Structure 1
């Protein structure tokens, strides 16, 4: 009798076991296939290529933040500061220094990344809400500086009178001035390089150290890990990637405005990370795609678009606490 019961229980366990999650390489193939082909199928759905470019830009910014938030476990509500500094750095370079798109990208990335590196030294010993509030304070300082310096930054009207320039590659010239599909693939190429570097960092011993700090900072200290230095490095690297996204934002719009420095944009980055899945590498990109597409679609119908996006965010947090890509992790662990 007991043997029959055990057999029945085992059979029930086997039948109720969930199907295994698809392999990781399959997900990578799907993601890159969608990114490469999006200029061709998105217009068929009523979208446009610039919308896909915005997804790449904000996805890269959110993935940069996620290195700090999702993999290190440290909250920042001021990453828009480095995003905006990258945008202004690129715009100011094109307007005042040189008509060179690569130089604009380099200058903007260095401006935002170095600002984050220096500021990180001041707050690296803070934790929790104190760390988050310090990041907001620095971001608002940059916002009001850009808002009030009319002669240099354009003030509230933003920085104008610059545009992306063609890129010379040996005897060839890549014309990205007209936007469209060619400029999208330029954004995608930079995005691919940045994501490859992020992937190497996350899978390196440095990335495993960040996970150890996230899981238990006290035990990491007992293992003689220099926690403060590792958090500072994570914060600095995160700022460089977010600043790179800011330079692409300026090139995408041929415009930089103070709202790119505002703390509300930092909140959007956090929403993208949480919505897509903080502990999934591609989670912030998925969250950015959902956020940007819904923002574009709903804002065309009502000015209260944030209410609808907020409702979607609440539903994701309630029913998918690990984010949209966290569903895959739950299936694999079931």
Structure 2
């Protein structure tokens, strides 16, 4: 019976999450928010969930995910501006750019563990950051890449105009998020996902059982970077702009904070962490320039007193 109750609670929780996401453009305004904030939360939630696929479920910490987030964004922006003005084509180029880069870098880092893995991912991330910063003739350098805009999407039977309609853009982003979240959930429930969790819990025992550890970590790394590249594409489309700050190491730190804040070993934890982080940033930054100090203090308190994150606290309070 407790197992059945837990299963029911899980389905109710999932339904509540999707209900809140689907109705967000309507209730956000009534509580003082705005639709664009909701869109940013969904995009950053996808990025944090992508990182959590590697950190929370594989047990490997990356501080370089902003590189592939930025590659997705730059690939999208450069395609629309210089190659072909199509949103789907631009997103495809951005996703391929981020995923291929991750796939090539993966074999160089998968044998590293702990702080060594994290530091090398920062190093590779900074390489991409300085390329975007210095190659100003193509990327716009520190000024960023502007003078382009997201294009309406033609489905043949109709057109989705995401140029000017904030709600249309929100639901477009939410649809992409839903596809990615569903794919991540499917992978984590598959034998591959269970193997990743086994590696997280005890790598030595998993290796003893004959599991090819390095190959699984490489695949987890590439999958994680694929999803964060998708988030980067959506980030560029939201702003009609991309600059090197999207690739910088502190952006990767934000993803880690969101995942840990919400609960890094839970599926929806990064979504809650992203919502808290961005709402605090939006509210506190309107009152003081030192907003990061308040977010940092809140993060430290959560880590010290609620190591399983906000979602872990909610589950403990509800007795589940």
- TM-score of the alignment, normalized to the shorter chain, above 0.5: yes
Residue 121 of structure 1 and its aligned partner are, at CA, apart by: 1.1
Aligned to 1:327: 313
Matched, 1:159 2:141: no
Select which of 220, 229, 241 maps to 2:227: 241
2:158 matched to 1:138?
A: no
Change (3 A) 1:262 1:162: same
Deviations 1:240-291 (A, max 9, x none): 0000000000000000000000000100000000000011001001100000
TM-score, scaled relative to structure 1: 0.92
2:253 match = 267
Q: Report the alpha carbon displacement of residue 332 of structure 1 after superposing the two structures with TM.
A: 7.8
**Cα shift at 1:329:** 4.8
| Corresponding position: 1:29 with 2:15 | yes
Give 3-state SS (helix, strand or coil) of 1:25's partner.
Answer: helix
Which of 80, 83, 92 is matched with 1:106 structurally? 92
Partner in structure 2 of residue 15 of structure 1: none
Counterpart of 2:154 in 1: which secondary structure?
strand
Which of residues 173, 185, 189 in structure 2 aligns to 1:199?
185
Q: How do residues 75-224 of structure 1 correspond to structure 2 at under 5 angstroms?
A: 75-224=61-210
Superposition deviation, residue 20 in structure 1: 7.4
Contact 1:20–1:332 (Cα < 8 Å) also in 2: no
Query: 2:44 is matched with which residue?
Result: 58
* Separation (CA, whole Å) in 2 of partners of 1:69 and 1:331: 25
Partner SS, residue 64 of structure 2: coil
Following superposition, the deviation at residue 171 of structure 1 comes to 2.4
Structure 2: 5+ residue stretches without partners: none
Describe the SS at the equivalent of 2:175: helix
Rounded Cα–Cα distance in structure 1 between residues aligned with 2:157 and 2:46: 31
- Cα 1:123–1:31 change in 2 (3 A) is same
Tell me, yes or no, if structure 1 residue 293 matches structure 2 residue 279: yes
List 4+ stretches of structure 1 deviating above 6 A: 19-22
SS at match of 1:42: helix
For the residues of structure 2 that align with 1:331 and 1:283, how far apart are their CA atoms?
Answer: 15
Question: CA offset at residue 315 of structure 1?
Answer: 1.5
Structure with max Cα Rg: 1
1:21/1:332 contact within 8 Å kept: no
Aligned length: 316
SS of the counterpart of 2:127? Answer: helix
- Output the TM-score relative to the length of structure 2: 0.96
Separation in structure 1 between the aligned mates of residue 17 and residue 194 of structure 2, nearest angstrom: 24
Q: Please state whether the residue corresponding to 1:164 is helix, strand or coil.
A: coil
